[in-house]
Amino acid sequence: MEEVEERVNEILKEWMNPQLIEEMEEGVINAPQDLLGMHFYEGTQMFVVRRPVAQRVWITDVSGETAYEAEELDAELGLFGLQIEKKKDQLKDYRVRIRYGEGDVVETADPYAYEPEITDYDTYLFAQGSHYEIFDKLGAHVETIDGVTGTRFAVWAPHARSVSVVGNFNMWDGRLHTMRLIGPSGIYELFVPNVGEGAVYKYQITTRSGDLLFKTDPYGNYAQVRPDNASVVTSLTGYEWQDADYEKKHHAKTREVRERAPMNIYEAHLGSWKKRVEDDDNGFYSYRELAEMLGDYLVEMGYTHIELMGIAEYPFDGSWGYQVGCYYAPTSRYGTPKDFMYFVDEMHKRGIEVILDWVPAHFPKDAHCLGNFDGQAVYEHSDRRRGEHPDWGTYIFDYGKKEVQNFLVANALFWVEKFHIDGLRVDAVASMLYLDYGKQDGDWLPNKDGGNENYEAMDFLRHLNSIMEKRHPDAYIIAEESTAWPGVTKRVEDDNGLGFSYKWNMGWMNDFLEYMKLDPYFKQFHHGQLCFSLSYHLSEKYILVLSHDEVVHGKCSLLNKMPGLTGDKYAALKAAFGFFYGHPGKKLLFMGQEFAQEREWSEMRSLDWFLLDQEPHQGIHAFIKDMNKLYLENDALYYNDSDVMGFEWMDCERAETSTVAFVRRGKTTKKQLMFILNFTPVAHEQYTVKAPCGGTFREILNSDAPKYGGRGRLNESPIKAKKVTTDKKKKEAAYELTCYLPPLSVVVLEYDYKK
């Protein structure tokens, strides 16, 4: 009997590859399946198991009734082996039983008994940058295979010597679950039985230089609450969406339909809109609680969209979510991924569309994140002159690398397809387009033609927008682009545009706010800043924005940008909002400004909701609510945003009085609107201005109304437009009207156009 056992051991040892043993000893094995698991050699069934610290190991059948004890082959490596020569005794399926100590026995399926799921076609598409469902392959996915439930882990680490998945399920021991390399793809994969939702994990990566790195999963769907930073296994399946009717209507929308529809966006940071506990870093309301509170508030106020800051997981609160650590995971600050699904679902139930801020421009240097992922530049460019933002202290994505493009394009699709997100606002597009953005001479590399345009970033953005248009024409992608780069919202196939749905009108925002800050006397010398944007408003599909960036870092709240004494500040703010709503372009207003928040915004505290107990703030709040209602009920304010007929100046030449007047037209001659604005504290009792036609004009909104905190100087009677002769010889005539124009005000008149 001893002779038989000795011969069997010799067969096992003969089969075991010395090179694989050496790689295992050095911790650089990337094909563990060639050594571990079940194999056949010369008709003999062989099992090799690696379980360091184990006292004894058995190979059993599935029922556990038949058990064969394995021999310890290498105590230092923790290798155990078993051979079964007779065919009648060989196992079709098996389990591994491990005893670590008295009463400490674990029985599990063998990770190396399962074939990889990632195919050659998957790796081909990924290398081409066109695997648009790569998020279903990479990352951590709970599966059941032949009755065994576990998690399949897969990660791209092209320069790694070896990769293991470590976590609270294996005592963070990288020797236990070494992953297999899938061909030359750089992708590592392993199915780990008995690991389910809630398991905490990272990837242990052995670099070319022999260093060990511990990285969060780039494709992981859930992560620990900071300051902890490991990934958490979760499943995105099983949530029962209730928005089928909404989705059906939404999917029917084309780009052209969207451009003719109202778009009134409330920009919000969930962690500071309202907090459960002030002065507590984790005193947040949950996604589910915010869904009810915030959703009802948006409906009450008349908003059509919400834009969310900081949803993809990020390590540092002070980045507001613009330095993302986990692109495929909603932040755990407010709950689980399914809690976020519930949030989106509740918005859709109320007819509110959801936009996410999305950051493909750069990512943080935190050690657990994407930077130097496998010891070398993987997601960032390898040359620091292309791969780093010196001012922001972040890495720049390498857009020329197909797998990186795939990571980003698939991520945009992921939010739309898995979370029913309606649109994405792309942050810092200018920093992507210009190679010298924020850099000094000598600190950046020109393109192949010697210019500062980033050709690879342009290619990525066109790829992103074209594939989103193809797969989800109902979704929209918005560019925060702060320069005059041409064709941002032109279709990719038309004049080689970038293909965005909309562009933030940063030029208008900067000019207008600078104008509003001026003392009323000096406004007359800067009248062009008020009017200039109407000379280019048709050059792109614009969204007018009064965003979070304008109420932080010493810039003051919108209220405190207004000059003058306290009463004048509120009146001037209403006039400013009047111009904002009247100006062509979709709308975005940052939270808190709708009730004239006095302090600058801070991510560390709630908005100052107590201000709504004070009359001036109640007045602003009521004014915004009524302006939102006016916007929704009058297609003149949105239908022709991008059409020349949608806007016409009636008067933009009275710089000395700082007044302007214009009309907005919708799809019919009915319910057209005329805006008259006064940006000085001087009333005009008989203000005469050009009218678009004859007929009757009716005041439907006046910012001086008592309900808005004004003094009630209104135009309560209908106003008749009078015909005036402009050229007696040519017998040309026009129309004009006269109204009362209060100081620091906006007056909105409704009329039906008559020839």
Known catalytic residues are 427, 480
- What is the distance between the alpha carbons of residues 432 and 73, in angstroms, rounded to a whole number? 55
Q: What is the DSSP string of 497-517?
A: ----SEEE-HHHHHHHHHHHH
List of long-range contacts for 65-74, beta carbons under 8 Å, 24+ apart: 66/91, 67/97, 71/9, 73/12, 73/13, 73/16, 73/48, 74/21
Peptide bond into 227 cis (omega under 30): yes
Cβ-contact 301, 347 below 8 angstroms: no
Lookup: tokens for 72:
């310890």
Q: Which residues contact 129 (CB under 8 A, 6 or more apart)?
A: 402, 403, 405, 406, 409, 463
Q: For residue 271, give the nearest of 228, 230, 222, 226 by alpha carbon.
A: 226
Question: Three-state SS for 297?
Answer: helix
For 652, half-sphere exposure in the C-beta direction (CA atoms, 13 angstrom radius) is 16
- What is the distance between the alpha carbons of residues 199 and 218, in angstroms, rounded to a whole number? 16
Q: For residue 375, give the nearest of 164, 159, 185, 204 by alpha carbon.
A: 159
- What is the distance between the alpha carbons of residues 547 and 506, in angstroms, rounded to a whole number? 10
Going from the C-alpha of 675 to that of each of 19, 515, 530, 556, the distances in angstroms are 81, 18, 14, 28
Which secondary-structure segment (H or E) carries 68? strand 67-69
Lookup: tokens for 628:
């939102």
Lookup: tokens for 671:
């319910």
Lookup: tokens for 187:
């992708």
Q: For residue 606, give the nearest of 266, 279, 227, 225 by alpha carbon.
A: 279
CB atoms within 10 A of CB 259: 21
Phi-psi region of 239 (alpha: psi -120 to 50; beta: other; left: phi over 0): beta
